[in-house]
Amino acid sequence: MSESLEKHIRAIPDFPKVGIVFRDITPALLAPKVFKELCDSLYAHCKGRPIDKVAAVESRGFIFASVLAYKMGIGFIPMRKPGKLPWKTIHEKYSLEYGEAAIEMHIDAVSKGDRILIMDDLLATGGTAAAAARLVERQGGIVDELAFVIELTALNGRSNLKGRSVYSLMQF
């Protein structure tokens, strides 16, 4: 990944609570060449993999997963906070570095044997990604890989994803 991209990731201390350093990708999204490089790098990593669908957790994961799904010619699975999807869902709780949360996906989003790439902007503790993987697997899908733009290595999120393929473009 280029130095240019790293310069477009803003560190925001004490957000969303004291002690957390939030990594803001918004400056990278605002810079067309940087956003293109970011998307192209993710695509270069994923193209040719035997993936049927790309899943992402709202909201920033949607940005990258939808681009990948489009470029790869495959389906996109939105995973959202409870009550945000309009049809029948399955639900999974998880812990964050600053609390607890839950995500849902439609019950028909994953078919038995589907190979799924799970995409998000950030790997912190791994709680969100692990919950997304559990949703896929509960429906009979296979998690091909979990991919991230940024990995916060000090939070050791990979430890919550043991036995799974994990990829990140940048580590902080």
As annotated, the active-site residues are 60, 97
- Report d(CA 16, CA 151) in Å as an integer: 17
Work out whether strand 99-106 and strand 89-96 pair parallel, antiparallel, or are unpaired.
antiparallel
145-148, Cβ contacts within 8 angstroms, sequence gap of 24 or more: 145/46, 145/49, 145/117, 145/118, 146/117, 146/118, 146/119, 146/120, 147/42, 147/45, 147/46, 147/117, 147/118, 147/119, 147/120, 148/119, 148/120, 148/121, 148/122, 148/123
CB-CB contact of 119 with 65 (8 Å): yes
Q: How many other β-carbons are positioned within 10 Å of the β-carbon of residue 125?
A: 18
Residue with tokens 């681009």: 67
CB-CB contact of 170 with 9 (8 Å): yes
